Structure 1
């Protein structure tokens, strides 16, 4: 595939094909060989095959073919939207409909891409060998109990995980040392149930190691963890020096952000967080890391990622997603709106409403393309993180509202119904956003003073289930819709064509034509479609879609 705006990542080409890969639990397998050809609308679903998971052995040579299989399945599912002959399409200004929409495919690095990893740990009796402890073969070893990393698969623990090449190298190389520290001290090892890692890339990156216990922990645990934290911090310095070679440019192959403040980065080099029921103890200076995303336009955006709060586990794909969204904002959005009466040549830049905005990951990068931005997020922790990330990057034209997106949608629709004869301009929107958008208390959306007509573009990044009916109704009223989906089959496809049509496409019963649509496709054209491989070696895939209202 040609990948408009995609990032070339070393090691992402020239792989040996595999036979098949299933995209989701109820999805069909797709033969990878020839998967780059055109999809057959409603084609017969091949037999289902076993799906790799993170606890399975990883063969990087299969990566390209596995991604091809996932993309081919998406092309099959979305063929009525991406192929011109499938539905009556009216040209949107600036959109070339002489050819079908082709997926823009953004591959992940095949190895060392996860910056957030979570493992169960289990004790087992056995001989502690030089290989298991990592000590020199010449040193003495004693029989005893050993800790091992595990994952859960169908309710049961996997076999011990001795290596995890999907993790960032700094995580992968530190994992054995963390187990050795817990094995050496009963205060750290007794009752230990899980170990989590949160890291950021680069010579000045940070890491939080979280140790989760099934028993109470207290000051005695904290004192026992001080020594291991100092040793692990020193080891982390050596690991990063070995990986990045002392280069001042953070990131994978020199693709991440600036050094920043030395004290700030030193405070996040390595910290340990202990957790038990009702208790959280920090050993060190922080329970967050600073992550830098480098965009194709040269900007380096800095984010404070808090342990325990949601953050994208694949920062390489976070960069690609943001690159794609910014490109849509700079091209399709302006072209699609330039023909409307509200957006003459003298009009101000468009405004953006963002629902399910999280910690501001997209907001920080997109704000420069809009006159004003209003974001809505359910989680109070993520709202605070978003405000901090906006301030950290000097973004002053965005406001954050703590509220369920569904409630905001209902409030805006009610306001639209009450004031059908009036239109609230950008100045009124900005005034009300200032009052409502920075509130620290959660709102139910019923008192929202935001007016639909104050916004030109909407961006949604909903949960796997997609948009609820009220939010979908609201979103369908915008000229331009940017949609990021973490479950294209369940969320994006149903919201685009409706549940009935989505089921027909999923089961292979689609016959090439529908008489009606109940989703966004009823009023909008799909003008760009992107595939982001956030989770290599699994069935999961993320998509980006840009819809433009038909003229």
Structure 2
């Protein structure tokens, strides 16, 4: 453990230096670092399944050699996922209906003890599989609230629910989030809470309305809705939009609307160059946007969206790729200055860097 902690400190220092160097042209102040526990932080994990005569086990692939290796425990994952990994394999091994042509197992857990297990197959699933999966669920119920999904080509069979409900405590306020199977969720729940609180602290006190692009299931929008007059989120994924609508209702949020639009489509709607039926009943002219929050994919923000967000007084940019973040900051540098920066260690003991910056418009 001492050696692991030392390795963590060294790698975290390297990450901070890398981020500082990338932000150097735009920001030369302190970078706030949010540290993660080096083990037990992942709330989701995916494993291939290897069949060896009567045996089967979880495997992963070495990123350098591409060789498979057996995974008996996964220290990065939370305790609930590790417990499920130990319990499920003996139950699958002795059941030919469940194990036949099974090639992958996905786990999604919550800090509140819910678990969703997806079993992926290279064959069609039938009624015998459903009966066997229901017995499997009974065998796993000692772990807590367990849901099972069976997936095959053009098939999705749900045993109980296809979602879990996570509860996050944000500045001592609890918010619940439906997390639907096979949709994006933040993998590190504790660091996710830090990200949301950092966003609130940096945007608190700003008047007007908030626009969030790439809003997902409302991870940022819902807690931030307390701090703005109105919030509009946009998201292209139907699954995420449906989850966001449930989360808005479950958290009793009255001033947040979600539009199923990509960022590029929102630019067209905002500039009135295209009319979208998906915006029926929602008038963009009724919003007084002062702030935009963006959490784009690894490729960063496209040029048209950059031109849109530079119109806002405040831009809060959450990034999963500091290289594309730096590239986008080069384009925003002539209208905005970076006033705050943070490193969120979502994936400890890996090279991955999650970061955030707040930009303010140059007056």
TM-score range, shorter chain: over 0.9
Distance (whole Å) between structure 2 residues aligned to residue 539 and residue 378 of structure 1: 29
Matched, 1:72 2:17: yes
Matched, 1:466 2:300: yes
Please name the residue that 1:243 is paired with.
Answer: none
Among 141, 147, 162, which residue is 1:271 paired with?
147
Note the alpha carbon deviations across 1:402-427, whole angstroms, 9 max, x for none: 11111111332356xx9xxxxxxxxx
Distance (whole Å) between structure 2 residues aligned to residue 453 and residue 395 of structure 1: 17
Q: Could you state the TM-score of these two structures normalised by the residue count of structure 1? A: 0.63
Shift in Å, 1:153: 3.8
Q: Could you state the TM-score of these two structures normalised by the residue count of structure 2? A: 0.94
Partner secondary structure for residue 121 of structure 1: strand
Matched, 1:493 2:305: no
Distance (whole Å) between structure 1 residues aligned to residue 345 and residue 201 of structure 2: 18
Shift in Å, 1:322: 0.2
Matched, 1:542 2:354: yes
Please name the residue that 1:381 is paired with.
Answer: 239
Please name the residue that 1:319 is paired with.
Answer: 193
Note the alpha carbon deviations across 1:154-199, whole angstroms, 9 max, x for none: 5845210111011110111220211111111111111010001011
Matched, 1:310 2:184: yes
- Matched ranges for 1:303-452 at <5 A: 303-331=177-205, 334=206, 349-414=207-272, 437=279, 449-451=283-285
Stretches of structure 1 lacking an aligned partner (at least 5 in a row): 1-10, 17-58, 84-100, 126-144, 238-268, 335-348, 419-431, 440-447, 498-518
Tell whether the 8 Å contact from 2:215 to 2:233 is kept in structure 1 after alignment. Answer: yes
Please name the residue that 2:94 is paired with.
Answer: 184
Among 310, 313, 316, which residue is 1:479 paired with?
313
Distance (whole Å) between structure 1 residues aligned to residue 55 and residue 6 of structure 2: 32
Tell whether the 8 Å contact from 1:212 to 1:275 is kept in structure 2 after alignment. Answer: yes
Partner secondary structure for residue 374 of structure 1: strand
Note the alpha carbon deviations across 1:412-448, whole angstroms, 9 max, x for none: 2356xx9xxxxxxxxxxxxx99x96577xxxxxxxx8
Note the alpha carbon deviations across 1:293-344, whole angstroms, 9 max, x for none: 112x21011111111111111111110100000001115xx3xxxxxxxxxx
Number of positions where the alignment pairs a residue of Structure 1 with one of Structure 2: 362
Matched, 1:149 2:58: yes
Distance (whole Å) between structure 2 residues aligned to residue 298 and residue 355 of structure 1: 26
Distance (whole Å) between structure 2 residues aligned to residue 77 and residue 452 of structure 1: 38
Distance (whole Å) between structure 1 residues aligned to residue 208 and residue 358 of structure 2: 16
**Would the alpha carbon gap of residues 542 and 452 (structure 1) be closer, same or farther in structure 2, given more than 3 Å must change?**
farther
Shift in Å, 1:209: 1.0
Please name the residue that 2:164 is paired with.
Answer: 289
Distance (whole Å) between structure 2 residues aligned to residue 211 and residue 61 of structure 1: 37
Aligned-residue CA RMSD in angstroms?
A: 2.2
Tell whether the 8 Å contact from 2:310 to 2:332 is kept in structure 1 after alignment. Answer: yes
Partner secondary structure for residue 159 of structure 1: strand
**Would the alpha carbon gap of residues 148 and 402 (structure 1) be closer, same or farther in structure 2, given more than 3 Å must change?**
same
Please name the residue that 1:174 is paired with.
Answer: 84
Distance (whole Å) between structure 1 residues aligned to residue 173 and residue 52 of structure 2: 49
Partner secondary structure for residue 337 of structure 2: strand
Shift in Å, 1:64: 2.0
**Would the alpha carbon gap of residues 484 and 80 (structure 1) be closer, same or farther in structure 2, given more than 3 Å must change?**
same
Shift in Å, 1:451: 4.3
Shift in Å, 1:151: 1.8
Among 47, 50, 62, which residue is 1:122 paired with?
50
Distance (whole Å) between structure 2 residues aligned to residue 386 and residue 458 of structure 1: 18
Note the alpha carbon deviations across 1:340-396, whole angstroms, 9 max, x for none: xxxxxxxxx311111111000101110011000111111111111111111111110
Distance (whole Å) between structure 2 residues aligned to residue 483 and residue 387 of structure 1: 23
Shift in Å, 1:61: 4.2
Shift in Å, 1:67: 1.2
**Would the alpha carbon gap of residues 320 and 121 (structure 1) be closer, same or farther in structure 2, given more than 3 Å must change?**
same
Shift in Å, 1:123: 1.0
Shift in Å, 1:233: 0.7
**Would the alpha carbon gap of residues 192 and 60 (structure 1) be closer, same or farther in structure 2, given more than 3 Å must change?**
farther
Distance (whole Å) between structure 2 residues aligned to residue 149 and residue 494 of structure 1: 39
